[in-house]
């Protein structure tokens, strides 16, 4: 099907078409489409743009990653389908960061598909295709990680992660930066630094900041981040958007 650029939901339709192709190619699973649906709904409520609070969180995330000794970015099928280029930009801007495949519904073929997608856009080394360690406290294959990556990371950037795994990483004393459009998800609530933004936008902004900030300067020193305030700000944004929509007369309520 050809998508018209004039369609008011053009961008969202493009993303949906891309995910549908990713389902066919085996990069993502049907559950991934449902997760995207939940994400889209929250993005809609947030005004489909990066809020000032999310942008601040992204800047602090870049600083934390720069200050980390062993930073890791975890990539699942949806992240590879939606933001592989942005992951590659993050990896180029911070060569120390390890990129690791991390799948909720793991099969060797899918792990390879994620790695292939990343290497096509220039990521040199992808960990986690053949896991070598397990995170305690998680059921079997969801615990699988790479001994050189997430297992030993001090700071984990986990876009679209599951709440259980976020909590398991936190329980091991690892610092978690999440990217999740749902400010109410367990992931957002458990993360040390929850970024409530769409994954390609968030990773793109983090890459911008890493490129701008350059070399690791103050390693070890970490600017504090008020996670509760960030989550409240996201809920406030939703509240304001809803109030604005409710106040508008019916005729003006058409989609942008």
Which residue's beta carbon is nearest to the bound Mg ion? 162
Q: Indicate if the alpha-carbon torsion angle 17, 21, 23, 27 is positive or negative.
A: negative
Judged by CB under 5 A, the stretch of 74-82, 99-107, 163-171, 240-248 that binds Mg ion is 163-171
* Burial letters 133-172, b for 16+ CB under 10 A, else e: eebeebeeebbbbbebbbbebebbbbbbbbbbbbbbbeee
Residue 179 contact, options ligand ATP, Mg ion, none, Cβ 5-8 Å cut-off depending on partner type: ligand ATP
What is the maximum span of the chain, computed from C-alpha positions, in angstroms?
58
- Single residue of 58, 161, 162, 192 touching Mg ion by CB under 5 A: 162
Interaction partner, residue 180 (Mg ion, ligand ATP, none; CB < 5-8 Å by kind): ligand ATP
Q: How many residues does this entry show for the chain?
A: 256
SS3 251: helix
User: Angle at CA 91, nearest 5°, toward 150 and 219?
Assistant: 70
d(CA 216, CA 50): 26
Are 199 and 180 within 8 A, CB to CB?
no
What is the spatial order of strands in the sheet that 71-75 belongs to? 126-127, 98-101, 71-75, 155-159, 175-179, 193-195
The span of 31-39, 121-129, 131-139, 225-233 binding ligand ATP (CB under 6 A) equals: 31-39
Among 81, 87, 94, 160, binds ligand ATP (CB under 6 A): 160
CB of 215 to ligand ATP, least distance (A): 29
What residue number has its CB nearest to ligand ATP? 39
Nearer to Mg ion, 31 or 226 (CB): 31
Nearest to ligand ATP of 60, 67 (CB atom): 60
189: which residues sit within 8 A by CB, 6+ positions away? 163, 231
Give least dist CB 14 to ligand ATP, A: 13
Q: Count each helix (H run) and each strand (E run) in the chain, helices first.
A: 9, 8
Shortest Cβ 76–ligand ATP spacing (Å): 9
Considering only residues 91 to 150 of the shown chain, the ones binding ligand ATP according to CB under 6 A are none
Q: How far is the CB of 8 from ligand ATP (least distance, A)?
A: 19
- Count of residues that interact with ligand ATP, criterion CB under 6 A: 18
Task: At 176, give phi and psi (nearest 5°).
Answer: -115, 125
Selected from 186, 211, 216, 235, the binder of ligand ATP by CB under 6 A is 186
Which range, of 55-63, 159-167, 200-208, 237-245, touches Mg ion by CB under 5 A?
Answer: 159-167
| Binding region for ligand ATP (CB under 6 A) | 35-36, 38-39, 42, 82, 160, 162-163, 179-182, 185-187, 198-199
């Amino acid at each position: 099907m050809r998508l018209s650029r004039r369609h008011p939901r053009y961008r969202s339709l493009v993303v949906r078409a891309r995910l549908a192709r990713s389902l066919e190619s085996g990069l993502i699973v049907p559950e991934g489409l449902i997760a995207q649906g939940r994400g889209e709904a929250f993005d809609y409520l947030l005004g489909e743009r990066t809020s000032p609070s999310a942008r601040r969180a992204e800047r602090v995330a870049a600083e934390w990653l720069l200050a980390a000794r062993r930073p890791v970015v975890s990539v699942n099928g949806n992240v590879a389908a939606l933001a592989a280029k942005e992951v590659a930009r993050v990896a180029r801007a911070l060569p120390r960061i390890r990129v690791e495949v991390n799948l909720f519904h793991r099969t060797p073929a899918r792990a390879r598909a994620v790695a292939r997608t990343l290497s096509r856009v220039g990521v040199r080394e992808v960990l986690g295709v053949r896991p070598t360690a397990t995170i305690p406290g998680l059921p079997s294959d969801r615990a699988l990680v790479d001994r050189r990556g997430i297992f030993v990371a001090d700071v984990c950037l986990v876009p679209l992660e599951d709440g259980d795994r976020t909590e398991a990483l936190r329980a091991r004393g690892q610092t978690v930066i999440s990217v999740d459009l749902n400010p109410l998800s367990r992931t957002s609530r458990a993360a040390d630094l929850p970024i409530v933004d769409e994954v390609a936008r968030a990773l793109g902004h983090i890459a911008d900041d890493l490129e701008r900030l350059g070399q690791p300067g103050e390693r070890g020193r970490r600017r504090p981040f008020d996670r509760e305030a960030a989550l409240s700000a996201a809920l406030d944004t939703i509240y304001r958007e809803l109030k604005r929509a409710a106040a508008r007369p019916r005729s003006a309520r058409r989609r942008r």
